[in-house]
Structure 1
Amino acid sequence: MSDFLKHECGIAMIRLLKPISYYQEKYNTSLYGFNQLFLLMEKQHNRGQDGAGIGCVKLDVAPGQQYMARDRTIKQNSLARIFKGQLKAYQKMVDKGVIHPEFPQTVKDNFDYGGEILLGHLRYGTSGVYSSNSCHPYVRQSNWPTKNLMLAGNFTITNEKDLNADLINRGQHPIFGTDTQAVLEEIGFHLDEAHDAIYHKMRDQNVEGTQIPSIISEQLDPIRILRNAASNWDGGYAIAGLIGNGDSFVMRDPQGIRPCFYFQNDEVIAFASERVALMTIFDQPIENVCEVEPGCAIVVKNDGKIYSERFTEPRPITPCSFERIYFSRGNDADIYSERKALGGALLEQVVKAIDNNFADSVFSFVPNTAEVAYYGLLDAVRLHRRKEVRDALLAAQSSGTLDAALIDELIMGNWPRGEKIAHKDIKLRTFISQEEGRAKLVSHVYDITYGIVKEQDCLVCIDDSIVRGTTLKESILKILSRTNPRKIVVASTAPQIRYPDCYGIDMSELGKFIAFKATVELLKDEGCSYLLQEVYVDCLAQADKPSREMVNHVKRIYDRYSDEQISAKIAELVYPKNVPWQGELEIVFLPVDKMREALPNNNGDWYFTGDYPTPGGTATVNKAFINYFENKSGRAY
């Protein structure tokens, strides 16, 4: 993705199912859980670089002793910083003779993260709030273990304001900060209710006070709590939670928008946002790592009992397609195959763009995340060319014109060429998020292979998605133009991004999308800008309606034009200025139907089609257009 987006946080949770002494004996360390958490987070570092946080709950801790811990930071290299800091604190305790590594109980008693349940979070912020307080895990504290709650998630709840209004109507005083806080308080409210109901029942039965905590812990039902809490949630989410008594849970939204996987054996149950992280860290084949079912929660009680139940009614499953196109790590076997399929699906459009002239075409990719799709396109064009050669050879044989010269011409000529054109010289510092600063940075990060592309060549570059087009215009195309080809074709393995997202990806400002800008320009060219006013009026008219009654009027803006017309206008808008190159530029986008064929199990395509899986999505696009028309910036949810 040439455009920089913040997106898709990562979660990791590990629940040890054996005593700490077991891991000391088998793995020669009492920090097995802590070490595995670090590795599980490190393998998902692509999912968040704004900050990181970890948490821990210890089982069977005596009254008066600390049993929950949390550490968070937004400083540079946050993940390494947290774990190095904790290991430094651990070593100090070893040096003082307080911790004896060979005796697991001393580790558990004296190291904050020497417990049985560990939680980790990698943050890519979409709220615009950047402080350590905005990092997960979030904590709700009480002197009752069964009222303590720690949460971390990869999610966005679109109706945060409604949730806070419900809290106020109950008489509470929520802090308006993020949807995470709203979710924490909502689950916390129902946790309190469940706790108090059991407590009052035990008290009325004259149960001895010292016995009540264990009874509450035994009878507490996290599924029922989550069912009550999540009944009105609108959004995409994968949320992990720890309760102070040692119960833990992981829940996934009913549409399956956000990904979540788990692995379980007799030693551990572990959860992560990405399947391949679990496969790598626990050295497991793909069939041993399972998906958390949409609309279900997996609960681990403090006694180690594990069960899964639905917390909401089944709904149509619409997993985020962007996870497969770009966000998730590409070394997952299925994702790798799907990205190759996305590249191959561009064959027809690319062949048309180069007039089937492979002899004078060079295929490449930029940025590096598009490399797998590039291999898929190369496979497709080579197969296409082999079929052409086969047909020509058969025709020549039939006509009696087959000779060595013709064979050389057919086999050696007009053959697809793949080259590494753009090189990433230094690691891109993705914490630079301002468009101007990033564009300038990218222009120095990439270097060009000179002398490969000739003036008569068409340079075809694969990109995995084009969102705003800013970096493409200001940096990437200027870099590619240095090779001085007659034509540049940028082929996106994602369709045109036309609508905002509200389920975890930071792209909610409609006016920044290059596809939207191009369509507005087409309206202006035709003298039809009045349509923008009409859509604005219609959006305003439904602004106060419940989101389930809203209609996506923004679709009408795009309905006037074909994909090809919008793509042509995009090429005009991103054509690089102030460069010597004067060649032709063509931008092609993968059609939605072909994307669906390549991603048969991830059909969440609302950013391309405007067909949102929840009412909150329609409310978001409605608000986003109002903000655009009124020249307001900021999130639309």
Structure 2
Amino acid sequence: MSELYHECGVAAVYHLPNRETSPLAPLGSPEKTSQLISRLLLDIQNRGQLAAGMTTFNPARNQLIDTHKDVGTVTEVFQLNHQQTFNALMKKYEGPAAIGHVRYATCGKDDRSYAQPFERHHIQKSKWFSFGFNGQLANYQDLCKEVLTESDFHLARETDTEILMHLLSQELSKENPGELHEILGTLSKRLDGAYNIVFLDALGNMFVSRDPVGIRPLCYAFDGSLFAAASESVALANMGFDEDQIESLAPGSAVIIKDGELSIHEYAKPTQKAHCFFEWIYFANVCSTLDDQSVYITRKRLGEELAEQETVPIDDDTIVVPVPDTAKAAADSMAYHLSVPCLEGLIRNRYIGRTFIEGANRGDKVRAKYTPLPEVLEGKRVLLVEDTIVRSTTMKALISQLKERGRAKEIHVRVACPPIIGPCFYGIDMSTINELFAPRFLEGGEMNPEVEKAMAAAIGADSLKYLPKESIARAVGLPGTSLCQACIDSTYPTEAGRKLYQIAVDNSQNEDSGSDSQRTYDVTPPTPVRS
């Protein structure tokens, strides 16, 4: 599923004063949060490889909060392979509090100005702040129009992060802005979509908040003087927190640190929960636990579901092969239950850079990223396990390579997910219907053997099977009513998401007009009102 990308991940660290120093503090010093934030970001690098950054707070320097960010991986941005440069960078940005961000964009350009955190300077410390944002505002278009109706307002970037910065600035600039959780409550009435936020101001105040629907995951932990939060639990576990210290932040809640004191507030009453099921089946690290549900166990159960519906004859020439890397747990489980070998007949080049294959055609990209092993595949009936099929272009090229270079006898694609039929407006880079593989075959109907046969022929497979929708809730271990499954059932959990879906449907039905060539949530900003 290399053709699908997530937007970003966030992290935060705070060494709380007047508490017993945590044994997890690096070198025993509360000033080393810059080192911890880079470590946290490295552990959530799977959520975004386009850019990375951090903002730290230190009352002993002129730049009370200061931001370091750039385009590149965490290793590149923080110079992790250059010890002296890294140490100097960590020294420059040391302090008791920090927030961090890794980015992949669903909107906006690939340059440093779009990297996060976003910092807003101000002479008044309570209005000088920085924040990182994970998710996507589904009502971005409406908010843009609202901002630009003022003649002296201007948007410099095509990203909802800038909109959020303006809204935060407006609330903080009020005569009586209220407490941080009250500000979040006010903002929640204007925001629609997925929005996890880490925030740090020049007074040293911090908040870590999760949107009221809980679409994206967010975890936190504290031990003595050390508080930390991250998009995924694996980052906190690798820092040294015990399993029972790590909690998922409840939707509509925020951890607030003000004047060095930590508290947890519910800023908005959730009316429903809609955790993105894709987090468990693909995006999250397999070592993570999100909302009390293990990612690994979920993928293991998906493999069991695949095995239960398998109909291909099993013989000595039958093997299971995962598409690396996230399909491996499902493939292992499927093979175990079918009593057939699960072999790595397809090897991924983990060291190839994004830039190296930019602009290459799909076949060249697949050849650069994956190497089929004929010594494993030749003459075999291969059950090829994949997380999902979104646009099908990578899968089609991959099957061709498995047959031509790997000399496999048969390729039977098994997808550990139902067909993707709807765009995502909450932080996954798929916005239009016509870019998706499944809708052109389903045409609004249900999956059946004839449709699966046509799909298999289109990608060059001998057969193709998806999991039914009911498998997802069983595998995740949460009720379907607690999951966002909009991309597989077109039921969007927010009002703006439903409006965007209708726009996407209208665009897909007017293909000749070219309206579907632009992402559904892209905005052409209105001309500012002139007095």
* TM-score, normalised relative to structure 2: 0.88
Tell me the distance in 2 between the aligned counterparts of 1:610 and 1:259.
21
- CA shift, 1:47, in A, is 1.2
Please point out which of 615, 622, 625 is paired with 2:495.
615
CA contact (8 A) 1:20 1:116 kept: no
Residues 1:498 and 1:441: Cα distance change in structure 2 (over 3 Å): same
Q: Report the CA distance between 1:346 and its aligned residue.
A: 0.6
Three-state SS of the structure 2 residue aligned to 1:11 is: strand
The counterpart of 1:450, out of the listed 349, 374, 394, is 374
Q: Is 2:124 aligned against 1:157? A: no
Which secondary structure does the structure 2 equivalent of 1:316 belong to?
Answer: coil
Q: Distance in 1 between matches of 2:283 and 2:26?
A: 36
Q: Does 2:228 align with 1:345?
A: no
- 2:184 pairs with 1:226: yes
The alpha-carbon deviation at position 53 of structure 1 amounts to: 1.1
Match of residue 71 from structure 1: 68
Which of 456, 461, 469 in structure 1 is aligned with 2:392? Answer: 469
Q: 2:345 and 2:188 mapped to 1: Cα distance?
A: 49
Q: Please tell me whether the aligned partners of residues 56 and 118 of structure 1 are also in contact (alpha carbons under 8 angstroms).
A: yes
**Residue of structure 2 aligned with 1:82, choices 78, 83, 87:** 78
Amino acid at match of 2:123: N
**Aligned pairs for 1:551-562 within 5 A:** 557-559=443-445, 561-562=446-447
Query: How far did 1:191 drift?
Result: 0.9
Higher mean displacement: 428-437 or 325-334: 428-437
The whole-number CA distance in structure 2 between the counterparts of 1:439 and 1:18 is 56
CA deviation string 1:578-624 (max 9, x = no partner): xxxxxx61111111101221012362211111011112222222222
* Cα gap change, 1:510 to 1:148, in 2 (>3 Å): same
Q: For residues 110-125 of structure 1, what are the structure 2 equivalents within 5 Å?
A: 111-125=91-105
The answer to whether structure 1 residue 506 and structure 2 residue 506 are counterparts is no
* Structure 2 counterpart SS, 1:278: helix
Structure 1 runs not aligned, ≥5 long: 94-106, 199-219, 383-415, 520-556, 576-583
Whichever residue aligns with residue 7 of structure 1, its letter is: H
**Aligned counterparts, 1:130-529, within 5 A:** 130-168=110-148, 173-175=153-155, 177-193=158-174, 196-197=175-176, 221-281=179-239, 283-301=240-258, 303-332=259-288, 334-350=294-310, 352=311, 354-355=312-313, 357-382=314-339, 416-425=340-349, 427-431=351-355, 436-453=360-377, 455=379, 457-519=380-442
Q: Provide the C-alpha distance between the structure 2 equivalents of 1:52 and 1:39, rounded to a whole number of angstroms.
A: 12
Question: Structure 1 residues 185, 128: closer, same or farther in 2, change over 3 A?
Answer: closer
Q: Deviations over 1:10-54 (max 9, x none)?
A: 111101113799689982556531111111111111111111111
Structure 1 vs Structure 2: percent identity of aligned residues?
Answer: 24
* Distance (Å, rounded) in 1 between the aligned partners of 2:147 and 2:79: 36
- State the Cα distance separating 1:66 from its structure 2 match: 2.3
1:441 offset after TM fit, Å? Answer: 2.5
Partner SS, residue 190 of structure 1: helix
Q: C-alpha deviations, 1:245-286, integer Å up to 9, x for none?
A: 1111011111110110001122111110001110111x1232
Q: Map 1:22-33; keep pairs closer than 5 Å.
A: 27=27, 29=29, 31-33=31-33
Q: TM-score, normalised by structure 1?
A: 0.74
| Cα offset, 1:89, TM superposition | 6.7
Counterparts of 2:86 and 2:457 in 1: how far apart (Å)?
A: 59
1:426 CA drift (Å): 5.3
Preserved CA contact (<8 Å) 1:167 1:186: no
Structure label with greater radius of gyration = 1
What's the counterpart of residue 529 of structure 2?
A: none
Distance 1:287 1:342, change over 3 A: same
TM-aligned CA distance change 1:337 to 1:85, over 3 Å: closer
Alignment check: 8 A CA contact 2:75 2:81 kept: no
> Is 1:586 aligned to 2:472, yes or no?
no
Deviation at 1:136, TM superposition (A): 0.7
Distance 1:148 1:139 in 2: 8
Structure 1 position 360, deviation (Å): 3.8
Please give the secondary structure, in 2, of the residue aligned with 1:594.
Answer: helix
Counterpart residue identity of residue 604, structure 1: C
User: In the alignment, what sits opposite 1:635?
Assistant: 519
User: Structure 2 vs 1, CA of residues 81 and 572 (structure 1 numbering), >3 Å: closer, same or farther?
Assistant: same
Q: Cα deviations across residues 530-551 of structure 1 (Å, max 9, x unaligned)?
A: xxxxxxxxxxxxxxxxxxxxxx
Could you tell me which runs of 5 or more consecutive residues in structure 2 were left unpaired when the two chains were aligned.
522-531
State the alpha-carbon separation in 2 of the partners of residues 16 and 595 from structure 1: 39
- What SS does the aligned partner of 2:434 have? helix
CA shift, 1:166, in A, is: 3.4
- CA distance in structure 1 between the partners assigned to 2:499 and 2:74 by the alignment: 35
DSSP-derived class of the 2:444 partner: helix
What residue is the counterpart of 2:5 in the other structure?
Answer: 6
> Could you tell me how far apart the structure 2 residues matched to 1:92 and 1:287 are?
35
Counterparts of 1:30-41 in structure 2 under 5 Å? 31-41=31-41
Whether the aligned pair in 1 keeps the contact of 2:381 and 2:408 (CA below 8 Å) is yes
1: CA distance, partners of 2:154 / 2:186: 18
CA distance in 2, matches of 1:85, 1:340: 35
> CA 1:26–1:278 in 2, change beyond 3 Å: closer, same or farther?
closer
Deviations 1:110-147 (A, max 9, x none): x5412111111100011141110011111222100001
More helix by share: 1
Aligned to 1:564: 449
